[in-house]
């Protein structure tokens, strides 16, 4: 075996110097919490002593008992059903809206482009909690100008009723993230070489045809990316129902899986069950996003690309 030269050794040291801080942070901030959550999810607390109070408390291995308990909980499962329904409706709507806005703003005849781009993006800068409070005021009867206006024309609306509240949340999420997704799509549109458009125009394509046959296929990777982000985001739905909960009698403490885990951890004080639920949530997010990627990946190959 050849001895490494001095330069090679120095290079290796330099590489390690660059890599170590990253690896340390990666271990501390990414791997450790995951390992700890999994460890927590496999344990439970056992108490002894009179009345169970003031006695000893210890952590014992519980196997998959927490997972079994989570999966046997109707409310946890129906929370999943709720976010999946939410995603199936809200994600396509939002992505279509974002795509249309991106195409409009990037079309040759668009005016005031920078103004509209910032205006649409602005809601993303508003934290989810603040956005939910803001919309909460627009939903609450007695205060909301929207409800008042609807009332004036004889239309009885209750944005916070059991049937409507999920879509009231969808509205907040769409308001917040359409502009963000639009910006991702615009970035990709900008990367398309102008010659392609010129060639299409020379071939006699009109604006609609250019959008449908050139622009959309070319921003496909960005579309896939925004979809995956949205799938993960939908499963993590938390701030909106959390903030609207005190305002609406229609959102319970297990409305979304994340809210359910939060309630278990901080109201029920059962971190072990909450950890199991978090791990399950992460698994579902993994399966769905990779499943989606596989699905569009295969279709992509079918297109001959």
Partner 1 sequence: MRTYDTIPPGGARRRSVLGGAAAVAAGFALAGCGGGAEDEKAAPKERKKGQKITLTFWSWVPGIDKPVDLWNSKNPEVQVKVEKVSAVNGAQYAKMHAAIKAGNPPDLGQIEFPVVPGFLLDNGLLDLTTVGGERYKSRFVGWQWQQSVFGKGVYAIPQASGPMGLFIRQDLFDKWDIEPPATWDEYEAAARKIRKKGAWIETFAPTNGNRFAGYAWQAGAKWYAAEGDNWTVAIDDEPTRKVADYWEALVKQKLVKTIPDRQNAWYKDIQTGAIPAWLGASWGDALLVGNAPDTKGTWRAVPLPQWTKGANAQANWGGSTTAVFAGAAYPKDALDFAVWLNTDPEAIKLLIEGGYGFPSAKTGYKTSDLDVHKDFFGGQAYSQVFREAGDHVDTSWQWGPGVDTLYQRLGDAFTEALSSGDSFRSVLKKVQAQTVSDLKGKGLKVESGG
Interaction between residue 10 and partner 1 (CB under 8 A): no
Helices 65-72 and 74-106, interaxial angle, to 10°?
A: 70
CB 164, min distance to partner 1, A: 12
Rounded Cα–Cα distance for residues 259 and 84 (Å): 15
Contacts of 71 (CB under 8 A, 6+ apart): 77, 280
Query: Is the CB of residue 278 less than 8 Å from the CB of residue 256?
Result: no
Stretch that binds partner 1, among 8-16, 38-46, 199-207, 290-298 (CB under 8 A): 38-46
Residue 164's SS3 state is coil
Q: Which two tokens stand for residue 254?
A: 């297990």
Show the site string, 168-207: x = touches partner 1 by CB under 8 A, - = not. -----x--xx------------------------------
- The correct pick among 77, 97, 100, 133 for binding partner 1 (CB under 8 A) is 133
Q: How far is CA 175 from the centre of its chain?
A: 14
Q: Which two tokens stand for residue 37?
A: 């959550």
CB 120, min distance to partner 1, A: 17
CB 260, min distance to partner 1, A: 9
- The correct pick among 77, 228, 252, 300 for binding partner 1 (CB under 8 A) is 252
Tell me the torsion sign for CA atoms 158, 162, 164, 165. positive
- The correct pick among 97, 104, 141, 300 for binding partner 1 (CB under 8 A) is 141
DSSP 8-state assignment for residue 162: T
What residues numbered 216-235 form the site for partner 1, per CB under 8 A?
229, 232-233
Stretch that binds partner 1, among 6-14, 39-47, 80-88, 193-201 (CB under 8 A): 39-47
Residues forming a β-bridge with 133: none
CB 134, min distance to partner 1, A: 10
Locus of tokens 């009723």: 161
207 vs 252 by CB, closer to partner 1: 252
* 245 backbone φψ class: left, alpha, beta (φ>0; ψ -120 to 50): alpha
Closest to 237 measured CA to CA, from 267, 266, 264, 258: 258
Residues forming a β-bridge with 57: 47
CB 129, min distance to partner 1, A: 5
CB 223, min distance to partner 1, A: 17
What residues numbered 45-104 form the site for partner 1, per CB under 8 A?
45-48, 50-58, 75
Interaction between residue 258 and partner 1 (CB under 8 A): yes
CB 59, min distance to partner 1, A: 9
169 vs 186 by CB, closer to partner 1: 169
103 vs 251 by CB, closer to partner 1: 251
- The correct pick among 3, 7, 29, 74 for binding partner 1 (CB under 8 A) is 29
Residues forming a β-bridge with 301: none
């Amino acid at each position: 075996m050849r001895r490494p030269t001095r330069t090679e050794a120095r290079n290796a040291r330099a590489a390690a110097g660059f890599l170590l801080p990253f690896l340390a942070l990666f271990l501390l901030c990414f791997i450790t919490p995951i390992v700890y959550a999994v460890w927590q999810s496999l344990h439970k607390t056992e108490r002894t002593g009179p009345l169970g109070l003031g006695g000893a408390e210890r952590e014992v291995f519980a196997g998959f008992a927490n997972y079994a308990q989570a999966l046997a909980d109707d409310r946890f499962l129906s929370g999943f059903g709720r976010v999946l329904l939410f995603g199936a409706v809200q994600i396509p709507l939002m992505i279509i809206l974002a795509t249309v806005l991106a195409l409009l703003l990037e079309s040759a005849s668009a005016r005031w482009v920078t103004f509209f781009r910032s205006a649409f993006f602005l809601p993303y800068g508003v934290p989810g909690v603040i956005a939910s409070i803001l919309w909460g005021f627009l939903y609450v009867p007695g205060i909301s100008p929207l409800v008042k206006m609807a009332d004036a024309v004889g239309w009885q609306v209750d944005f916070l009723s059991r049937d409507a509240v999920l879509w009231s949340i969808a509205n907040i999420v769409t308001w917040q993230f359409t502009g963000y997704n639009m910006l991702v799509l615009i970035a990709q549109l900008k990367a398309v070489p102008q010659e392609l458009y010129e060639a299409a125009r020379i071939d006699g394509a009109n604006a609609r045809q250019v959008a449908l046959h050139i622009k959309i296929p070319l921003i496909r990777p960005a579309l896939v990316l925004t979809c995956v982000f949205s799938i993960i985001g939908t499963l993590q739905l938390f701030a909106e129902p959390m903030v609207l909960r005190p305002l609406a009698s229609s959102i319970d403490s297990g409305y979304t899986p994340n809210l359910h885990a939060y309630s278990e951890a901080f109201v029920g004080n059962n971190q072990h069950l909450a950890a199991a639920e978090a791990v399950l949530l992460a698994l579902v997010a993994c399966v769905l996003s990779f499943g989606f990627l596989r699905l569009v990946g295969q279709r992509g190959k079918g297109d001959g690309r």
